[in-house]
Chain A
Amino acid sequence: DQQVKQNSPSLSVQEGRISILNCDYTNSMFDYFLWYKKYPAEGPTFLISISSIKDKNEDGRFTVFLNKSAKHLSLHIVPSQPGDSAVYFCAALQSNSGYALNFGKGTSLLVTP
Protein backbone atom coordinates (compact mmCIF):
# COMPACT_ATOMS: atom_id res chain seq x y z
CA ASP A 1 0.00 0.00 0.00
CA GLN A 2 1.55 3.24 -1.18
CA GLN A 3 1.87 5.58 1.79
CA VAL A 4 3.61 8.28 -0.20
CA LYS A 5 1.99 9.40 -3.42
CA GLN A 6 3.20 11.53 -6.25
CA ASN A 7 0.18 11.81 -8.50
CA SER A 8 1.88 13.57 -11.39
CA PRO A 9 4.15 11.15 -13.23
CA SER A 10 5.58 13.95 -15.34
CA LEU A 11 5.90 17.71 -15.50
CA SER A 12 7.24 20.01 -18.19
CA VAL A 13 8.37 23.54 -17.36
CA GLN A 14 10.11 26.27 -19.29
CA GLU A 15 13.55 27.35 -18.25
CA GLY A 16 13.44 30.22 -15.78
CA ARG A 17 9.95 29.42 -14.57
CA ILE A 18 8.97 27.78 -11.32
CA SER A 19 8.65 23.99 -11.06
CA ILE A 20 6.27 22.71 -8.41
CA LEU A 21 6.34 19.03 -7.57
CA ASN A 22 3.70 17.69 -5.25
CA CYS A 23 3.60 14.83 -2.81
CA ASP A 24 0.89 13.47 -0.50
CA TYR A 25 1.21 10.97 2.30
CA THR A 26 -1.23 8.93 4.32
CA ASN A 27 0.71 7.96 7.43
CA SER A 28 0.38 10.65 10.09
CA MET A 29 3.30 9.11 11.97
CA PHE A 30 5.79 10.28 9.34
CA ASP A 31 7.88 13.05 10.85
CA TYR A 32 10.63 13.66 8.34
CA PHE A 33 10.37 14.23 4.62
CA LEU A 34 12.97 14.27 1.90
CA TRP A 35 13.26 14.97 -1.79
CA TYR A 36 15.67 13.09 -4.00
CA LYS A 37 16.72 13.63 -7.58
CA LYS A 38 17.47 10.61 -9.68
CA TYR A 39 18.85 9.89 -13.12
CA PRO A 40 18.30 6.54 -14.85
CA ALA A 41 20.58 3.76 -13.65
CA GLU A 42 21.93 5.88 -10.82
CA GLY A 43 21.22 6.06 -7.11
CA PRO A 44 19.09 8.90 -5.75
CA THR A 45 20.81 12.14 -4.81
CA PHE A 46 19.55 13.97 -1.75
CA LEU A 47 18.15 17.43 -2.45
CA ILE A 48 16.39 18.85 0.56
CA SER A 49 14.49 17.71 3.62
CA ILE A 50 12.07 19.01 6.17
CA SER A 51 11.14 18.00 9.67
CA SER A 52 7.50 17.85 10.67
CA ILE A 53 8.06 20.65 13.17
CA LYS A 54 8.63 23.06 10.30
CA ASP A 55 6.47 24.15 7.43
CA LYS A 56 9.17 25.45 5.12
CA ASN A 57 12.79 24.82 4.36
CA GLU A 58 14.81 26.65 1.76
CA ASP A 59 18.14 25.84 0.16
CA GLY A 60 19.15 27.97 -2.78
CA ARG A 61 16.74 27.43 -5.64
CA PHE A 62 14.94 24.65 -3.77
CA THR A 63 12.20 25.16 -1.23
CA VAL A 64 10.10 22.48 0.40
CA PHE A 65 6.75 23.30 1.95
CA LEU A 66 4.96 21.02 4.38
CA ASN A 67 1.26 21.17 5.18
CA LYS A 68 0.78 18.63 7.94
CA SER A 69 -2.96 19.05 8.26
CA ALA A 70 -3.36 18.24 4.57
CA LYS A 71 -0.57 15.62 4.65
CA HIS A 72 0.92 17.35 1.66
CA LEU A 73 4.33 18.61 0.74
CA SER A 74 5.71 20.30 -2.31
CA LEU A 75 9.09 21.05 -3.80
CA HIS A 76 9.53 24.38 -5.54
CA ILE A 77 12.43 24.94 -7.90
CA VAL A 78 12.94 28.50 -9.01
CA PRO A 79 14.26 29.40 -11.44
CA SER A 80 14.16 26.05 -13.20
CA GLN A 81 17.17 25.09 -15.28
CA PRO A 82 17.57 22.43 -17.99
CA GLY A 83 19.99 20.59 -15.68
CA ASP A 84 17.12 20.09 -13.26
CA SER A 85 15.54 17.62 -15.68
CA ALA A 86 15.39 14.31 -13.81
CA VAL A 87 13.01 12.16 -11.82
CA TYR A 88 12.20 13.57 -8.39
CA PHE A 89 11.23 11.26 -5.57
CA CYS A 90 9.44 12.30 -2.45
CA ALA A 91 10.23 10.18 0.61
CA ALA A 92 9.03 10.04 4.18
CA LEU A 93 10.14 8.35 7.32
CA GLN A 94 9.05 7.72 10.85
CA SER A 95 12.07 8.42 12.99
CA ASN A 96 11.08 6.14 15.85
CA SER A 97 10.54 3.23 13.51
CA GLY A 98 13.88 2.36 12.00
CA TYR A 99 14.39 5.31 9.63
CA ALA A 100 13.41 3.29 6.56
CA LEU A 101 12.33 5.53 3.72
CA ASN A 102 8.95 5.28 2.05
CA PHE A 103 9.18 6.55 -1.49
CA GLY A 104 6.62 7.92 -3.89
CA LYS A 105 6.67 6.75 -7.50
CA GLY A 106 8.49 9.83 -8.68
CA THR A 107 7.74 12.74 -10.99
CA SER A 108 9.74 13.15 -14.15
CA LEU A 109 10.60 16.82 -14.60
CA LEU A 110 11.57 18.18 -17.99
CA VAL A 111 12.86 21.74 -18.13
CA THR A 112 12.86 23.05 -21.68
CA PRO A 113 15.07 25.87 -22.90
Chain B
Amino acid sequence: GAVVSQHPSRVICKSGTSVKIECRSLDFQATTMFWYRQFPKQSLMLMATSNEGSKATYEQGVEKDKFLINHASLTLSTLTVTSAHPEDSSFYICSATTSGRDNEQFFGPGTRLTVL
Protein backbone atom coordinates (compact mmCIF):
# COMPACT_ATOMS: atom_id res chain seq x y z
CA GLY B 1 0.00 0.00 0.00
CA ALA B 2 0.80 3.72 0.04
CA VAL B 3 2.00 3.99 -3.53
CA VAL B 4 2.58 7.35 -5.13
CA SER B 5 3.05 7.71 -8.85
CA GLN B 6 4.33 10.60 -10.93
CA HIS B 7 3.85 11.31 -14.57
CA PRO B 8 5.79 11.86 -16.70
CA SER B 9 9.01 10.32 -15.43
CA ARG B 10 11.05 12.37 -17.89
CA VAL B 11 10.23 15.43 -19.92
CA ILE B 12 12.29 17.52 -22.28
CA CYS B 13 10.84 20.81 -23.41
CA LYS B 14 11.84 24.02 -25.14
CA SER B 15 12.46 27.19 -23.24
CA GLY B 16 9.27 29.22 -22.79
CA THR B 17 6.88 26.31 -22.75
CA SER B 18 4.89 25.09 -19.75
CA VAL B 19 5.16 21.62 -18.31
CA LYS B 20 2.67 19.85 -16.08
CA ILE B 21 3.72 17.09 -13.69
CA GLU B 22 1.12 14.88 -12.05
CA CYS B 23 1.40 13.24 -8.67
CA ARG B 24 -1.14 10.58 -7.73
CA SER B 25 -1.72 8.55 -4.60
CA LEU B 26 -2.83 5.20 -5.97
CA ASP B 27 -4.25 3.41 -2.97
CA PHE B 28 -4.88 6.00 -0.33
CA GLN B 29 -6.31 9.46 0.08
CA ALA B 30 -3.59 12.05 0.35
CA THR B 31 -4.66 14.82 2.66
CA THR B 32 -1.39 16.64 2.11
CA MET B 33 1.04 16.54 -0.78
CA PHE B 34 4.50 18.03 -0.91
CA TRP B 35 6.62 19.03 -3.86
CA TYR B 36 10.41 18.83 -3.66
CA ARG B 37 13.16 19.76 -6.05
CA GLN B 38 16.58 18.20 -6.17
CA PHE B 39 19.63 19.55 -7.95
CA PRO B 40 22.51 17.17 -8.71
CA LYS B 41 24.29 16.07 -5.55
CA GLN B 42 22.13 18.38 -3.48
CA SER B 43 19.50 17.89 -0.88
CA LEU B 44 15.82 17.67 -1.62
CA MET B 45 14.43 21.15 -1.17
CA LEU B 46 10.81 21.61 -0.25
CA MET B 47 9.04 23.86 -2.73
CA ALA B 48 5.48 23.84 -1.47
CA THR B 49 2.89 22.07 0.62
CA SER B 50 -0.60 21.53 -0.71
CA ASN B 51 -3.75 20.43 1.05
CA GLU B 52 -6.71 19.19 -0.92
CA GLY B 53 -9.08 21.96 -1.85
CA SER B 54 -6.94 24.82 -0.62
CA LYS B 55 -4.14 26.96 -1.96
CA ALA B 56 -0.62 25.65 -1.73
CA THR B 57 1.82 27.09 0.78
CA TYR B 58 5.09 27.98 -0.90
CA GLU B 59 8.50 28.02 0.71
CA GLN B 60 10.48 31.23 0.74
CA GLY B 61 12.14 31.89 -2.56
CA VAL B 62 9.77 29.73 -4.60
CA GLU B 63 7.75 31.76 -7.11
CA LYS B 64 4.12 30.73 -6.92
CA ASP B 65 3.36 32.21 -10.33
CA LYS B 66 6.17 30.18 -11.79
CA PHE B 67 5.35 26.88 -10.10
CA LEU B 68 1.59 26.44 -10.10
CA ILE B 69 0.30 23.77 -7.79
CA ASN B 70 -3.20 22.37 -7.87
CA HIS B 71 -4.49 19.79 -5.41
CA ALA B 72 -7.98 19.31 -6.76
CA SER B 73 -8.71 15.91 -5.29
CA LEU B 74 -7.52 13.64 -2.52
CA THR B 75 -5.55 11.55 -4.97
CA LEU B 76 -4.08 14.07 -7.39
CA SER B 77 -1.79 17.08 -7.20
CA THR B 78 -0.24 18.79 -10.20
CA LEU B 79 2.80 21.00 -10.52
CA THR B 80 2.95 23.21 -13.59
CA VAL B 81 6.25 24.86 -14.41
CA THR B 82 5.20 27.89 -16.44
CA SER B 83 7.41 29.45 -19.10
CA ALA B 84 10.18 27.03 -18.27
CA HIS B 85 13.81 28.08 -18.61
CA PRO B 86 17.01 26.02 -18.56
CA GLU B 87 17.59 26.88 -14.90
CA ASP B 88 14.31 25.09 -14.09
CA SER B 89 15.90 21.84 -15.21
CA SER B 90 15.87 19.63 -12.16
CA PHE B 91 14.48 16.49 -10.57
CA TYR B 92 11.02 17.11 -9.12
CA ILE B 93 9.64 14.73 -6.51
CA CYS B 94 6.26 14.68 -4.83
CA SER B 95 5.25 13.03 -1.62
CA ALA B 96 1.98 12.47 0.15
CA THR B 97 0.70 11.89 3.62
CA THR B 98 -2.62 10.59 4.79
CA SER B 99 -4.70 11.42 7.81
CA GLY B 100 -3.58 9.52 10.89
CA ARG B 101 -0.16 8.79 9.42
CA ASP B 102 1.06 12.33 9.19
CA ASN B 103 4.65 11.50 10.08
CA GLU B 104 4.98 9.21 7.11
CA GLN B 105 5.56 10.67 3.69
CA PHE B 106 5.29 8.40 0.71
CA PHE B 107 7.40 9.54 -2.19
CA GLY B 108 6.79 9.34 -5.87
CA PRO B 109 9.51 8.17 -8.25
CA GLY B 110 10.33 11.69 -9.40
CA THR B 111 10.24 13.55 -12.71
CA ARG B 112 13.36 14.63 -14.55
CA LEU B 113 12.74 17.94 -16.31
CA THR B 114 15.19 19.16 -18.91
CA VAL B 115 14.58 22.55 -20.48
CA LEU B 116 16.51 23.22 -23.65
A residues adjacent to B (C-beta < 8 A) = 2, 4, 9, 32, 36, 41-46, 49, 89, 93, 95, 98-106
Contact = CB atoms under 8 A, between A and B. Distances in A.
Contacts of B49: 98, 100
Interface in B1-32: 4, 6, 32
Nearest to A108: B41
Interface of B: 4, 6, 32, 34, 36, 41-46, 49, 57, 91, 93, 95, 97, 102-110, 112
Given A4-B43, A36-B107, A103-B36, 17 more contacts: A2-B43, A9-B41, A41-B91, A41-B110, A41-B112, A43-B4, A44-B44, A45-B107, A46-B107, A49-B103, A89-B44, A98-B32, A98-B57, A100-B34, A100-B49, A101-B46, A106-B43
The 7 A-B pairs at the shortest CB distance, nearest first, are namely A43-B107, A105-B43, A103-B43, A103-B44, A43-B109, A43-B110, A99-B102
Contacts of B4: 43
B110 A101 contact: no
A99 B34 CA distance: 10
